[in-house]
Structure 1
Amino acid sequence: MILQLAEARGCPRDLVGGKAANLAEMISAGFPVPEGFCITTAAYRQILPDVAAPLPVWLETGIVEAYERLSRGGPVAVRSSSTAEDLPDASFAGQYDTFLDVRGADEVLAAVRRCWASLWSDRATRYRAAHDTGHAPAIAVIVQRLVAAECAGVLYTANPVSGKRSEIVVDAAPGLGEAVVSGAVTPDHYRLSVEGETVEGPGEGCLTPSRLGELAAVGRRLEKHFGAPQDVEWAFDGDGGLWLTQSRHITTLFPVPETAGEPRAYWSVNVYQGINRPFTPMGASMIRERQRGMATYMSALGFSDEIIDVDGWLFWDITDGVRSPAKRPKMAAFMDSLAAPSGRLVEQLGRDQRFPSMPPGSEEDIPPKNRRRRWARMIAAWLWPDQARARVVRDAERRIAAFAGPDDATARQRLSFVELIRGDVCRIEANLPRDANTAGAVGGQLAGRLLRGYVDEAEIATVFRAIPHNPTTEMDLALWRTGESIRRDDESLRLLLDTAPDELAAKQLAGTLPEVIQHGVAAFLTDYGCRATSEIDFGVPRWADDPEPVFAMLVNLLRAEARFESTAATAETRIVELTRRLPVTKAHRTLLARFLLRRSRRLRGLREFPKFCLMRGFAALRKQLLLIGEEIVQAERLDRAGDVMFLDLVEVREALDGKDFRTTVARRRKVWEREARRPRVASVLLSDGTVPALESDAGEGDLVGLAAAAGVVTGRARVVHDPDGARIEPGEILVAATTDPGWTPLFLSAAALVTETGGMISHGTTVAREHGIPAVVGVPGATTLITTGRVITVDGSAGTITFGEEHR
């Protein structure tokens, strides 16, 4: 139960803990680590049944003898080494106790007990819960010779704030390094190049240039040895010797595509698609197929032809667009329309000397469209809007019918069908007729021009609330109506409010809920079971697969009186009112503006229709792939049918041919779960790891974003990271990193919306406008800067957020 620290190399982490395992690896590799010994987790488990009882004599004797051999009664450091510590995605820095300058056997034994106890401190317990490590924690203890430090501190082999891999950061102070780690002193702060040259630092600090160079060199060695940027604790003793007391991964750095040569810039496909977690492998392969249908257009804007995948985070290389004076404005406008403030960052990078402008004439342009033909088709859509919309729906239904696949087939036949039809499914949005959709948007824009000077944009926006035929808002209202039916049945209402959503979902799938719930939810799932949060990831279970989120949203709607009113008549009244503001002398403009606004309302619902069709196609293909997965499970080559989502189609065929993918899936699932715990997604990322910060001219205390849906609301904020199970009280303001259609049922009770990304045509803001709630999007750091309960004022017309009183 007691090992010399050097002997801990190769021991299971569950026996020696993360810190001891790393230190033992460093000793083996020749790094200067103070000698010591490790009291393994077996000792902790031995005393766990009765932590208040005296230590067994044999254990106490062993610790004391090891201490005497190490230090002869002199000072030592006693450090915790938990099995849930120094993980690739969670450092647990400072969560477990360390004691320095411990002298004498009694003090050592007391410090060991205190290290054990720190495993269950409030801070450590909360940290483990927040990071969902999946570990059943235990704790080992390291006792090391104490370095008589002249100067000590922390070394980061990459800048932990900016993410820049080409910078080394050092914090240092005289004496023991614990003062730096704990924040008890203001350290000397240095920024170095990877070669060790000082970029920034104090004029007279506690580190000389030679010592900084030595730290940079050992940092490079550690990074190379462990294969990732490192957070290193170090100390120089009185003789100038450098000692390392810890090295672990810097867990906050965002993954970067591997590149060489000149700096590159990347845009996150995850952010563009409105999801803040990684794609599954099958989801990534499907999104690549989807984007190939846009390749010509995207390439002309400066985007790379292919999408880069790093641990489920997908990127476009946007370097060409950043460097092109001709493409950059178009690229920036496109990006901001979907995920502001990405476009502003692109404009900012265009002024960065690291991205010199391309020579004139070296870039392609977007192929010109036949404007005359497009206008003719739009005019036809305005004249006969119902027929135009019906044509789109008929075309979609014909295509979707072909996606259904065989009911009775072998797994190989099903896979052949999926391979054959995948391209049509992934490109249905691009293949559907677009003229009616375009006519809906352009009609509103033209009406706005006709009314300019008499009506402002916010007033025009009120015309487009609750527009018909939008599948996303229709979904929200269908759920609301289901809730209203349940509200009228007292017994069903009590059951829904008093039962956990996961239990309700199980009863739904088993068919044992009261009829009003069972049939109401079943009808909702028939129409919208193809949807989900983060639904653009093909690998994510649909609501039909797991209806737990549907029940969570229903409970939220039943507890908070949902806001909804029929606005069709209101919209017609509003159209007449606004157009009457034009002078009598401009009667022709009045009539034309009125015509365009009415036609725009009839057609705008098509904005969300192609995405809904894609989800229906995804659901059809998922059904086939899950059936294939069941057969692979029976052959004992996967553990669960859903594991096919952690393969691509080539690998699914290999699994049918006999290859066992259980180990591969387990590894990929572990990476996906690790990456899914990242609190923030980088929108724009540079190849050296830098996450560019947006230059802001906002007033002190104000937050500024994109004015996405008009109106002004003051209320208490509710920060939500996952809509499944979230609760929004009436009058609360929803604050989120991003939203997609899976979030929109929350809009029925939210008073306003604030997101970190999003644009004028992103799904969340489109639905926010139709629900009539103000929205400000593209607010960097909103979920951190705004806390739940804080009173804020959201001005969706000005794009500002101001803070009121402190939260209660």
Structure 2
Amino acid sequence: MLVVPLAQATSRDLAGGKAAVLGELIRAGETVPDGFVVTTAAYRRGTIPRDEVAAAYARLGGGPVAVRSSATAEDLPGASFAGQHDTVLDVTDLDGVLAAIARCWESVRTPRAVAYREAHDLPEPSMAVLVQRMVTATTAGVLFTADPVTGCRTSMLVESAHGPGAGVVDGTAPVERHVPAGGTPLHALGRRLQERFASPQDAEWAVDAEGTLWLLQSRPITTLFPAPPPRDGKQPRIYVEFGHVQGMLRPVTPMGMSGLQQMIAAMMASLGVRAEIVDIGGRLYGDLSDLARHPSARKRLVKMMAVDFGPRAQAVMEHVLADPRFAPAPAPRHQQSKPALGTGLRAVTGILRALTSPAAARRRVLDAVDRLRLAAAVPDSVTTSEDRLAFVRADLPGTGASDARAADDLTWPIVAGLLAAALPAELLKGVATPAEIHTVLGGVPHNVTIEMDLALWRLARSAAPAHRDLLLGSSPADLAARHRIGDLPDIGLDEFLATYGHRGPAEADLGVPRWSEDPSGVFAAIANYLRVTDTDQAPDVRFARAAAAGETALRELSRRVRWRRPVRGTLAVFLLRRARALSGLREYGKFAGLYRLSAVRGQLLLIGSDLVDRGLLGEPSDVMFLTLDEAAEAVRAGADHRSLASDRRATHRAESRRRHVPAALLSDGTDVETLLARSTAGPATPRDGEASRDGEASRDAGPAPDGEGARGTGSARDAGSLRGVAASPGRVTGPARIVHDPAQARIEPGDILVVSTTDPAWTPLFLTAGALVSETGAVMAHGPTVAREYGLPAVISVRDATTLITDGQLITVDGAAGTVTPAAAEPGTARSDTAGTGVTTAA
């Protein structure tokens, strides 16, 4: 069929997304302007069916119409295509209709539409065209059935404007915003749309002179972060994002999620903390609702979050604890959890032993790491998929006495180092600044991640004379492919991977390749190292300089506190000395655990390969998009999961493009940080262009029909400094480099690394960077810790830094003040290279 009435539009493939939805709504009894659809069959044929269009236009009564694009890829849950394809309003004759149809067809290949599809990894669609009567409106606007800024699913938002309705959707007219009251026409419409489509909707509407409310479009709100899963009970719940603690803001694969949920819950339980780990949008969130309401636990909850979660999460929790809905209440007995007495005694003993003899503690840690490496090896008896399942399902080493000893030998020296690094700041308040303490903790030895970075630096320097052009002139992906087939000269990479190949980006996720499988990130780091030409900025020199500065600062601090605070000062200096001896060990816990994860991943891929051979999966890595139970079902019962794995892979790919991951969510979907922002800056406008559409609403718009007052029009963000948390002292000016994937990063010496989060696989980039800016993190997290080791200025917890800062922008990072400032905003900023590195300092 080339032309069909709008009321008969039922198929997205034939009528496109917009028309198919409006056809459904007409059949459901909604008031939608009449019209017809020139189908995708006509588009694929390549000629406009003039006679059929003329007849349909005549049946419509002629006169002014809106000619609207309706591509097959429009109005999808993950891609709205808002404003990407053309629409022509107020078309008054047949020739105009035909010309407008051609224009809609041509808009499929405009640069903006092509760029949008590439950004969303979507193929070119077919284009249907919707022709509808124009509505001569007195009022027009947009209805969101969920708040598009906060994400709250229980609050609607209306935008309307005086003047042409197009001004609302294209952002050219001032708009009024209000929450529609229950029982009003727009609220009732929103309820019906929400119930019909079972997801938050973004609907365009208009009211004509007779007071008729017309529905012009309804599509999913594509920018909302997924809501938490529904729970029983009337009280709201609070979910705090856990993934950034491990440097993971990208979604976790289903296989990785199940393992991480169990591991994190078990770790927290051992500390007497009960919290369910929930999958929201593929990210790890901890349900801290019961802790927030627990009469005693809530008193220490904010302080407990300082070490790993950082100030953004702490600010969120302070807001939640002040909310009457989270008032303290007695916890049910089954929810009360306490650490075992034996665990407490082992903790005290282990911490005191480590503080007493740091050298012996380090030896115990290294021995425990080696034992866990050996224990992770796959036995020769594991040969079938059933054997592999049993190996994967086995608990992590820790059931036997020797394994329990390994865990203690590894854990308590690390905890001792963290405590020794964290306590002096409180003991030395008023005597030493945070920046001075950070300097003392710079260049700390015995950090396996630093040792890894420096080993890679030595590899790059040794390879440079003979292979520099090859390593700089080829892409990391090409070099990795050649390495896998043995087509590269020996540069010492095999030896490096034998020690560190079980690592990689987002390495806590089973579904992510290790460096041993894909060394692209390693080759990217080598290329960055080869760009360092100033010997004074060589990573080993920078680390040695930071270590010397740390020792000097500790000696000076020791002299100062001796008379100003003799007791507390003496204790603080003792702890700082122990911190320099022990805090570098913190990376060994994860490093050792990754041996087991790497072995498990290898066995899962072999199971996946077996399922591919049996026709039950499309490729071996598809097994990572199943749960372990689903993989077992395929192995044992022959369940065909090809479609399931493909759908989940597509969802994972779409979620991987999301740049904003809320630090905390309420059970109604509210991004708690947006509430904090509103309390200080006023109401905000919708995110990511939600109000930018194709201008189809109507003409001659007036005030909103429901009568509520305007909620405000939002406010611009301050153009000055961005404020975060001081994490490593120093002040540097340089060009910003926005990096989302370390394997694709090109960092010139002195560039300022701006990231959402980091994990150990990112740290090789630190060796050439001038400074670090991160959207997440805590002062004692991986990234800031390694930054201090190198004397790299760092500011963390800078919300939306990768969005507010542009790539290449000249910025100044003040790691002591915790600010990031556009260089142009700083009077007196001089562009003077420091030792030829491209790093600049402020005059």
* Alignment TM class, shorter chain as reference: 0.7 to 0.9
Counterpart secondary structure, 1:654: helix
Equivalent position of 1:673 in the other structure: 653
Residue-by-residue CA offset, 1:649-707 (whole Å, 9 max, x unaligned):
22221111111111221222222222222221011111122112336879983332222
Counterpart-to-counterpart distance in 2, 1:379 and 1:313: 37
Amino acid in structure 1 at the alignment position of 2:300: K
Counterpart secondary structure, 2:153: coil
Counterpart-to-counterpart distance in 2, 1:238 and 1:443: 73
Equivalent position of 1:201 in the other structure: none
Counterpart-to-counterpart distance in 2, 1:295 and 1:601: 27
* 1:268/1:315 contact within 8 Å kept: yes
Q: How does 1:119-518 map to 2 (within 5 A)?
A: 119-132=108-121, 134-174=122-162, 176-193=164-181, 195-196=182-183, 213-257=184-228, 258-260=230-232, 261-296=234-269, 300=273, 304=275, 306-324=276-294, 326-340=296-310, 341-358=312-329, 367=339, 377-407=350-380, 409-422=383-396, 424=398, 433-444=410-421, 455-489=432-466, 492-516=467-491
Amino acid in structure 2 at the alignment position of 1:27: I
Deviates more, 1:649-658 or 1:466-475: 466-475
Amino acid in structure 2 at the alignment position of 1:685: L
Equivalent position of 2:689 in the other structure: none
Match of 1:108 among 81, 97, 112: 97
Match of 2:737 among 714, 718, 738: 718
* 1:40/1:141 contact within 8 Å kept: yes
Q: CA deviation at 1:76?
A: 0.7
Give the structure, 1 or 2, with the largest relative contact order (CA under 8 Å, sep 6 or more).
2
Q: How does 1:25-174 map to 2 (within 5 A)?
A: 25-47=24-46, 56=47, 59-72=49-62, 74-132=63-121, 134-174=122-162
Q: How does 1:506-655 map to 2 (within 5 A)?
A: 506-516=481-491, 520-561=492-533, 563-564=538-539, 565=541, 566-567=543-544, 571-572=550-551, 575-581=554-560, 597-655=576-634
Q: Name the TM-score, length of structure 2 as normaliser.
A: 0.84
Q: 1:744 to 1:120 in 2, by over 3 A?
A: same
Deviates more, 1:220-229 or 1:170-179: 170-179
Counterpart secondary structure, 1:44: helix
* 1:272/1:338 contact within 8 Å kept: yes
| Structure 1, gaps ≥5 residues long | 48-55, 197-212
* 1:336/1:344 contact within 8 Å kept: no
Q: CA deviation at 1:177?
A: 2.7
* 1:9/1:28 contact within 8 Å kept: no
Match of 2:663 among 666, 683, 693: 683
Amino acid in structure 2 at the alignment position of 1:113: A
Amino acid in structure 2 at the alignment position of 1:532: G
* 1:432/1:610 contact within 8 Å kept: no
Q: 1:284 to 1:365 in 2, by over 3 A?
A: closer
Does residue 772 of structure 1 match 2:791?
yes
Counterpart-to-counterpart distance in 2, 1:577 and 1:248: 64
Counterpart-to-counterpart distance in 2, 1:60 and 1:431: 80
Q: 1:504 to 1:42 in 2, by over 3 A?
A: farther
Counterpart-to-counterpart distance in 2, 1:230 and 1:592: 59
Amino acid in structure 1 at the alignment position of 2:603: Q
Amino acid in structure 1 at the alignment position of 2:138: E
Amino acid in structure 1 at the alignment position of 2:304: F
Q: CA deviation at 1:384?
A: 3.6
Counterpart-to-counterpart distance in 2, 1:415 and 1:43: 53
Counterpart-to-counterpart distance in 1, 2:575 and 2:306: 26
Counterpart-to-counterpart distance in 2, 1:96 and 1:86: 12
Equivalent position of 2:635 in the other structure: 656
Counterpart-to-counterpart distance in 1, 2:816 and 2:226: 36
* 2:2/2:40 contact within 8 Å kept: no
Counterpart-to-counterpart distance in 2, 1:585 and 1:263: 49
Q: Name the TM-score, length of structure 1 as normaliser.
A: 0.88
* 2:81/2:116 contact within 8 Å kept: yes
Counterpart-to-counterpart distance in 2, 1:321 and 1:406: 42
* 1:790/1:805 contact within 8 Å kept: no
Residue-by-residue CA offset, 1:358-382 (whole Å, 9 max, x unaligned):
2699995855979887565445434
* 1:8/1:16 contact within 8 Å kept: no
Count matched residues. Answer: 770
Q: CA deviation at 1:645?
A: 0.9
Counterpart secondary structure, 1:718: strand
Q: CA deviation at 1:163?
A: 1.0
| Structure 2, gaps ≥5 residues long | 682-717, 832-843
* 1:337/1:758 contact within 8 Å kept: no
Q: CA deviation at 1:533?
A: 1.5
Q: CA deviation at 1:383?
A: 4.7
Q: CA deviation at 1:29?
A: 2.5
Counterpart-to-counterpart distance in 1, 2:348 and 2:227: 44
Deviates more, 1:784-793 or 1:524-533: 784-793
Amino acid in structure 1 at the alignment position of 2:225: F
Counterpart secondary structure, 2:306: helix
Amino acid in structure 2 at the alignment position of 1:610: G
Counterpart secondary structure, 2:529: helix
Counterpart-to-counterpart distance in 1, 2:99 and 2:346: 84
Q: CA deviation at 1:451?
A: 7.2
Q: How does 1:689-768 map to 2 (within 5 A)?
A: 689-693=669-673, 694=676, 701-768=720-787
Counterpart-to-counterpart distance in 1, 2:313 and 2:558: 36
RMSD: 3.1
* 1:328/1:347 contact within 8 Å kept: no
Q: CA deviation at 1:401?
A: 1.5
Q: 1:771 to 1:138 in 2, by over 3 A?
A: farther
Counterpart-to-counterpart distance in 2, 1:589 and 1:157: 57
Q: CA deviation at 1:249?
A: 0.2
Q: 1:382 to 1:167 in 2, by over 3 A?
A: closer
Q: CA deviation at 1:397?
A: 1.9
Counterpart secondary structure, 2:178: strand
Deviates more, 1:780-789 or 1:290-299: 290-299
Q: CA deviation at 1:522?
A: 2.0
Percent identity (aligned): 46
Counterpart-to-counterpart distance in 2, 1:440 and 1:272: 18
Counterpart-to-counterpart distance in 2, 1:330 and 1:665: 42
Q: CA deviation at 1:559?
A: 3.1
Counterpart-to-counterpart distance in 2, 1:374 and 1:678: 40
Counterpart secondary structure, 2:632: helix
Match of 1:781 among 792, 796, 800: 800
Q: CA deviation at 1:444?
A: 4.5
Counterpart-to-counterpart distance in 2, 1:690 and 1:326: 26
Counterpart secondary structure, 1:144: strand
Q: CA deviation at 1:476?
A: 1.7
Counterpart-to-counterpart distance in 2, 1:329 and 1:777: 25
Counterpart secondary structure, 1:805: helix
Amino acid in structure 2 at the alignment position of 1:662: R
